[in-house]
Amino acid sequence: MNESLVSGVNLTKHFESRRSPIEFLAGRRPPPIRAVDGVTIEIQRGEILALVGESGSGKTTLGRLLLLLERPTSGEVWFDGQRIDNVGSRTLRAYRRRMQMIYQDPYGSLNPKLRVSEIVSEPLRVNGVEAKKDRVTEYLAVSGLRPPEKFLDRYPHELSGGQRQRVAIARAMILEPEFVVADEPVSMLDVSLRSEILGVIKRFNQMLKTSFLLITHDLAVAAQVSSRIMVMYLGRVVEEGDTLGVLRRPKHPYTQTLLSVVPRLGGSLPKELPKGEIPSAKNIPSGCRFHTRCAYALEVCSTEEPELRLVDGSRVSCHFAERILSGSTNLSTS
């Protein structure tokens, strides 16, 4: 923890669900939404960690907890060797400029009434730094908006989705933060644009040594830029390791499932698909959370929740990780 830049220790975030009138009268509280349910995560300086999961996995909430945009229900958040989840708002503000966020929606993340130059220079002005035009154009250029001068006076509605996302990235990076959470930065863009936007993120990572937490549901996105992957399911980590290890030798059935359904050019749909949908975070299955949809589930899976343990260089939480690794019954098609 002294070496990592950002870490979350045993983080949980439970949201209260709304009470129906009957429950209110009976004085009962419905079960909370356990969005993040005991996650320990570490992000090193200069690394890009991909946080992979589907909706309901808690990945977005975890990202927001690390930036303290949500307060954890329990657990600790550390930044640069200091604990920050229990500090006052003034101290927190000082940390804020060192960590930023890039949002999923290119249409909602830019104020439609402001010009690009005003949007990108805002973080500077708000922090009392002189907003020199050169600096703004430099960041626009690195984000791939060339020539940058052409874009300074434009309004968001005059830009395409990809261009807006570049503006959003430039805005996030202009204060040269040490840590950036990118929440599904390309999922609302056309497939043909995604790689380039990811390239912008990689460029900033190399240029400024900024650490990124890249939240995505698409393993192809994780494959392109991340050095490590962490897979989440229903509020917990199911697998974590270096990118090549997780993608080439997945050890958790859920990771294998994700790999099998990633669209491949000229491929075909996987022969087996998990049944049903992700359970609600209000009603988390007993034992291993994935057992209701797992093709290999055995009895122990419904009673005992597996620990996160080291198997072949990755941390996995599955009772049978070794057997799955050896490929005795493999889901992925390749």
Q: Site residues (CB under 8 A) for another protein?
A: 54-55, 67, 69, 93, 96-97, 99-101, 103, 105, 108-114, 119, 122-123, 126-127, 155, 157, 160-161, 168, 171-172, 175, 190-196, 198-199, 217-221, 223-225, 243-244, 247, 257-259, 261-270, 273-274, 277-278
**Structure tokens given for 169:** 């990235």
In the bound complex, what is the minimum distance in angstroms from residue 186's beta carbon to another protein? 9
In the bound complex, what is the minimum distance in angstroms from residue 206's beta carbon to another protein? 13
157-178 exposure pattern, b = at least 16 Cβ within 10 A, e = fewer: eebebbbbbbbbbbbbbbbebb
Q: Which is nearer to another protein, 69 or 310 (CB)?
A: 69
In the bound complex, what is the minimum distance in angstroms from residue 311's beta carbon to another protein? 20
What is the strand order of the sheet 309-311 is part of?
Answer: 99-102, 179-183, 211-216, 48-52, 228-233, 236-242, 314-316, 309-311
In the bound complex, what is the minimum distance in angstroms from residue 292's beta carbon to another protein? 13
In the bound complex, what is the minimum distance in angstroms from residue 98's beta carbon to another protein? 10
Element at 309 (helix H, strand E): strand 309-311
In the bound complex, what is the minimum distance in angstroms from residue 301's beta carbon to another protein? 19
Distance, in Å, from the CA atom of 15 to the CA atom of 35, rounded to the nearest integer, reads 7
Cα of 84 vs its chain's centroid, Å: 20
In the bound complex, what is the minimum distance in angstroms from residue 101's beta carbon to another protein? 5
Angle at 91 between CA 235 and CA 35, to 5 degrees: 10
Q: Say how many C-beta atoms besides its own lie within 10 A of residue 102's C-beta.
A: 23
For 57, 146, 172, 180, 226, the CA distances from 212, given in Å and listed in that order, are 19, 24, 12, 5, 9
Distance, in Å, from the CA atom of 203 to the CA atom of 143, rounded to the nearest integer, reads 8
Q: Which is nearer to another protein, 40 or 87 (CB)?
A: 87
Q: Which is nearer to another protein, 29 or 264 (CB)?
A: 264
Q: Which is nearer to another protein, 137 or 260 (CB)?
A: 260
DSSP 3-state assignment of 237? strand
Q: Which is nearer to another protein, 37 or 218 (CB)?
A: 218
Q: Which is nearer to another protein, 96 or 236 (CB)?
A: 96
Crossing angle (nearest 10°) for helices 133-142 and 116-126: 120
Element at 61 (helix H, strand E): helix 59-66
Q: Which is nearer to another protein, 40 or 245 (CB)?
A: 245
